């Protein structure tokens, strides 16, 4: 009960990549880089195990960005045709590659690295992939014309990748859909359909991570405009509760999300964000426990997975490590009191 997990990413060590950056460049190259990624992933698997985290990830140590590192391996995208695009409904601008033809996946993207990580641990392992809607909100389109059509095309590629990851031993496939918290009508009209396509036929648990974004300046400023009560999740949770996805995440730590919104997810496992992903401080185990107990007013503990609010890529390594320890210790405090 109250098995702990993380949204997905963890900081890459400073010897491997430029730290505390969203797309920090690699510091190694060639065979050294490949060895370095594996060493960094192995270290985070050990850190997660030592901290007492139950459901592990590779910390996304093999990627520079949660969307682009997948798209770099997809055909039909011209990496040289750059378009400046307002991301997440113009919250910030990013220069992105452009889809110029039908997309296809010439070969597996993450499967070899996953096999390596699978060999490191007997814990439940989750693998994260970008969600179809979020991909479409992170890349320019000069081919499909309709976002829904482009998203469905990417969903098919994600499904191919996910099936191979499951065959290689992934216990949970999670799709990261921060865009779900921005384009509510699209989620209900076609977003969940594309998630269903991406997860079709997977012989594993499925999850979707939805959040208010990394703890970066742009997101922190945006959050300040959202008012005292963040009710965005209310607009999509009814459809998600009716979906075939098993696990749904939400941000609960240091956020203005009313915990009552979890009451909508009656049929789901809920990943309760119990540590924030801002770099300023590490929550105490007692604070984590208080967040979990608050969630328990709306969700039975059997359906709660204490989690991080979002990915921890942009925060300092030691802060992330401290947050892992507090997350596990906070869950233990609650478990021991039940």
Q: What residue ranges bind Zn ion (CB under 5 A)?
A: 211, 310
DSSP state of 11: P
CB 43 within 8 A of CB 13: yes
The CB-of-210 to Zn ion minimum distance in angstroms stands at 7
Q: Give yes or no for a contact between 56 and 3, defined as CB atoms under 8 angstroms apart.
A: no
DSSP assignment of 189-237 equals IIIHHHHHHHHTT-SSEEEEE--S--SSHHHHHHHTTS-S---GGGGTH
- DSSP state for residue 32 in the 8-state scheme: H
Burial degree of 80 (CB within 10 A; 0-12, 13-18, 19+): exposed
Q: Cα 194 vs. chain centroid, distance in angstroms?
A: 17
| Least separation in angstroms between CB 35 and Zn ion | 29
Q: In angstroms, give the least distance from the CB of 64 to Zn ion.
A: 16
CA dist., res. 23 & res. 20, Å (int): 9
Task: Closer to Zn ion by CB, 16 or 216: give it.
Answer: 216
Among 3, 147, 132, 142, smallest CA distance to 70 is for 132
For the CB of residue 66, give the shortest distance to Zn ion in the complex, in Å: 8
| Residue 20 C-beta: closest distance to Zn ion, Å | 17
Nearer to Zn ion, 162 or 310 (CB): 310
Taking the complex as a whole, the smallest distance from the CB of residue 104 to Zn ion amounts, in Å, to: 27
Nearest CB to Zn ion, comparing residues 36 and 213: 213
Least separation in angstroms between CB 99 and Zn ion:
23
Nearer of residues 117 and 271 to Zn ion, judged by Cβ = 271
Nearer to Zn ion, 179 or 334 (CB): 179
DSSP state of 187: I
Shorter beta-carbon distance to Zn ion: residue 130 or 330: 130
**For Zn ion, the closer CB: 180 or 298:** 180
- Provide, for the chain, the percentages of residues in helix, strand and coil under a 3-state DSSP scheme, each rounded to the nearest 5: 40, 20, 40
Evaluate whether 322 touches 282 at the Cβ level (below 8 Å): yes
CB of 311 to Zn ion, least distance (A): 5
Q: Specify the residue, 136 or 310, whose C-beta has the smaller distance to Zn ion.
A: 310
């Amino acid at each position: 009960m109250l098995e702990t997990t993380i949204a997905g990413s963890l900081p890459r060590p400073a010897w491997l990549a430029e730290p505390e950056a969203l797309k920090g460049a690699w510091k190694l190259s060639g065979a050294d880089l490949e060895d370095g990624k594996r060493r960094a992933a192995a270290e985070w698997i050990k850190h997660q195990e030592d901290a007492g985290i139950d459901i592990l990830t590779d910390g996304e140590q093999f990627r520079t960005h949660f969307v682009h590192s997948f798209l770099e391996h997809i055909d039909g995208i011209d990496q040289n045709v750059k378009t400046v695009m307002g991301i997440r409904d113009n919250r910030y601008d990013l220069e992105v590659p452009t889809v110029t033809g039908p997309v296809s996946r010439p070969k597996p993207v993450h499967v070899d690295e996953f096999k390596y990580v699978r060999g490191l641990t007997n814990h439940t392992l989750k693998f994260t992939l970008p969600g179809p809607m979020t991909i479409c909100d992170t890349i320019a389109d000069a081919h499909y014309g309709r976002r829904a059509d482009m998203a469905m095309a990417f969903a098919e590629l994600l499904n191919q990748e996910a099936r191979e990851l499951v065959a290689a031993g992934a216990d949970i496939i999670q799709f990261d859909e921060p865009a779900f918290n921005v384009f509510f009508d699209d989620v209900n009209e076609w977003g969940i359909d594309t998630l269903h396509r991406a997860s079709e036929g997977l012989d594993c648990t499925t999850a979707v991570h939805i959040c208010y974004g990394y703890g970066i300046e742009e997101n922190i400023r945006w959050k300040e405009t959202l008012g005292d009560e963040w009710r965005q999740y209310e607009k999509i949770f009814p459809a998600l509760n009716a979906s075939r996805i098993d696990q749904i995440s939400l941000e609960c730590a240091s956020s203005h999300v009313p915990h009552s919104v979890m009451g909508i997810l009656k049929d789901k496992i809920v990943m309760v964000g119990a540590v924030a992903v801002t770099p300023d401080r590490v929550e105490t185990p007692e604070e984590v426990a208080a967040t979990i107990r608050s969630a328990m007013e709306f969700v039975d503990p059997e359906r709660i997975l204490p989690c991080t609010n979002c990915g921890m890529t942009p925060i300092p390594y030691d802060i992330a490590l401290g947050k892992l320890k507090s997350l596990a210790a906070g869950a233990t405090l609650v478990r021991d009191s039940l």
